[in-house]
Amino acid sequence: MAATGNVRTDGSLISRLDQGLFKLEEILNLLAGLVILAVMFIAVGNIVGRYFGYPVPGYVDYMEQAVPMVAILGIAYCQRLGGHIRMDIVVGTLKGRALWFAEFLGVLMMLIVTLMLTYGSWDHAERAIMLGDSTVDINLPTWPTKILFPIMFGVLSVRLLVHVIAYAKAMANETDEPVAVPLIEDVAEQTKREAETVSGLEGENLK
């Protein structure tokens, strides 16, 4: 059994689905990084331009559309790695089936809420398209940013569904380290994994 960060992988169907989805999530997370890079260039250009009396037209409009993109594009990627803020005070004390049952219930509730958000955000994006909603300054269309939300909530829903199935499988098999889900790590394990990532030695043992 191999590991990608704190997620175990093997040759099972659920693990292959996890790894295939993770490739898409990595691309979307990369796009978020590119948006941040673009925001940085626009911000620098605006600062320099203001010094010479030529600020970037519609700077605020661009920022209003870019910031939500940064926030939403990496949401499924973060869920896959277990990066979202969570409270492990109680769950961290559980073991075996009790732990996987608690995780199963938590992720199932997240899936239900995410499906509701997908529907609501799609309705909001559709309304923006129909009404021709745009920003105040340079009339930048808002629908490209708004339609990203139902798309990304949809990707997150698929990720959560994979986790639900994986936790159900873990309960059935009574395994200690299920595949396709982020495993709870203590501070020492998190620090070691972050050091491996930064050093470029991810997956290798550091002395």
Residue 197 lies inside a defined structural domain of this protein: no
Q: Do 198 and 32 touch, CB atoms closer than 8 A?
A: no
Residue 109 lies inside a defined structural domain of this protein: yes
- Domain assignment of residue 128, given as a range: 2-192
Beta strand segments in 42-192, E: none
pLDDT at residue 54, as a whole number: 93
Number of domains in the chain: 1
Residue 156 lies inside a defined structural domain of this protein: yes
Residue 184 lies inside a defined structural domain of this protein: yes
Residue 179 lies inside a defined structural domain of this protein: yes
pLDDT at residue 82, as a whole number: 87
Which residue positions in the chain have pLDDT lower than 50?
206-207
Residue 205 lies inside a defined structural domain of this protein: no
Residue 202 lies inside a defined structural domain of this protein: no
Q: Do 8 and 177 touch, CB atoms closer than 8 A?
A: yes
Residue 198 lies inside a defined structural domain of this protein: no
Rounded to 5 degrees, φ, ψ at 188 are: -65, -45
| pTM of the complete model beyond 0.85 | yes
